[in-house]
Structure 1
Amino acid sequence: MDCVFCAIVEDRLPALTIHEDSHFLVLLDIYPLRPAHVLIVSREHAPYLHDLSSAARDRLLVLADGICRVMRSAGHGISGINLLLNDGPASNQHVPHLHLHLIPRRKGDVPALLWRILTRFLPLGRKRLQARMEREAQLLRQSLREAFGGV
């Protein structure tokens, strides 16, 4: 079976990409837990963190920090962002390809977050969600250009 993230990296599948560099793509999660839920996806097919090259591992948190700053400047995750890396199938890693979730949070969002965890893979409201995600991607790209001219 083909890896969905490898297909995105190779431009065989579409994604709402907000940034890319030599090691990673930054894109919106297609099943977001919160608005502006971003994934940092390795260009390398690395199922586990220890499979990732040392150069990419060194870049990962630097990039995550820059993207978190951009998300906050765009109004997402001002009071908190979860950084989540599921490392292996027992950790709930659905796609065996290294990716770091950046999930913007706000005070009091736990009930909505839990509901989204339970319903995220259902096809309810996909058109409305897609339109929202396209707006979020544009806002994050613009914030990235304004803040860093790229990260």
Structure 2
Amino acid sequence: MKNCIFCQIQEGELPASVVYEDDRAMVILDLFPVREGHCLVIPKVHAPLVEELSGEMSSHLMDLARRTIKAQKRAGLPVKAHNLVINDGREANQHVPHVHLHVIPRRGGDTLATAFTWATRLLNIFGMAKRRKKLDRLAGLLAEHFPKS
């Protein structure tokens, strides 16, 4: 879809810090992360809602989330647990109408900070070049540790 941010990223029209990509989906770092290492698992087929995905694609996205979790731990991020989040529809706070699964590393004792960051994360638009460099370095590290299966 022409005006979908995730479709534009997949077409190479917009930048992203890519951790993993195959012919069906990609894993990128969130530009406005809730916690360090916050990734998005995105199908390459444009589907605004989960119900529009095939069962096979849904399974593939969950498998990529599992592999992302392994990569985050192998890369040495301070991870004790994860939030896996899909905001499915506008009324569920979905900002980009293209299915995407958030894989958010949690380290424990960070509930208040995570809630605050989640609520305010889209407000900080300053320092994008510096942020992109940091995310690209982290994407490279996670890619090195991303399991084949």
**Offset at residue 124 of structure 1 (A):** 4.0
- What is the CA-CA distance between 1:84 and the residue it aligns to? 0.4
Report the Cα distance in structure 2 between the residues aligned to 1:97 and 1:118, rounded to whole angstroms: 20
Q: State the TM-score, normalized to the length of structure 1.
A: 0.88
1:13-92 aligned at under 5 Å gives the runs 13-76=14-77, 78-92=79-93
- When the two structures are aligned, how many residues end up with a matched partner? 147
Read off the aligned partner of 2:30 and give its amino acid letter: D
Work out whether 1:137 is the aligned partner of 2:139.
yes
8 Å Cα contact 2:17-2:132 kept in structure 1: no
Superposition RMSD in Å: 1.7
Distance (whole Å) between structure 2 residues aligned to residue 10 and residue 131 of structure 1: 21
> Which shifted more, 51-60 or 81-90?
51-60
2:107 is the alignment partner of 1:101: no
Counterpart CA distance in 2 for 1:110 and 1:57 is: 28
Shift in alpha-carbon separation, 1:116–1:125, aligned structure 2, 3 A: farther
For the 8 Å contact 1:84–1:101, the answer to whether it is kept is yes
Q: Report % sequence identity.
A: 37
The one-letter amino acid paired with 2:132 is: Q
For 1:63 and 1:123, locate their aligned partners in 2 and report how far apart those are by CA, in whole Å.
28
- TM-score normalised by the chain length of structure 2: 0.89
Shift of 1:85: 0.7
Could you report, residue by residue, the CA deviation over 1:77-129 in whole angstroms, capped at 9, with x for unpaired residues? 63101100111111110001010000011111123223322331222444443
- Cα distance in 1, alignment partners of residues 105 and 92 from structure 2: 21
List gaps (5 residues or longer) in structure 2.
none
Distance change >3 Å, CA 104–CA 41, structure 1 → 2: same
Structure 1 position 134, deviation (Å): 2.0
Q: Where in structure 1 are there 5+ consecutive unaligned residues? A: none
Distance verdict in 2 for CA 1:13–1:34, change over 3 Å: same
Q: After the TM superposition, which of the residue ranges 123-132 and 88-97 deviates more from structure 2?
A: 123-132
- CA distance in 1: counterparts of 2:131 and 2:55, whole angstroms: 36
Distance 1:99 1:10 in 2: 16
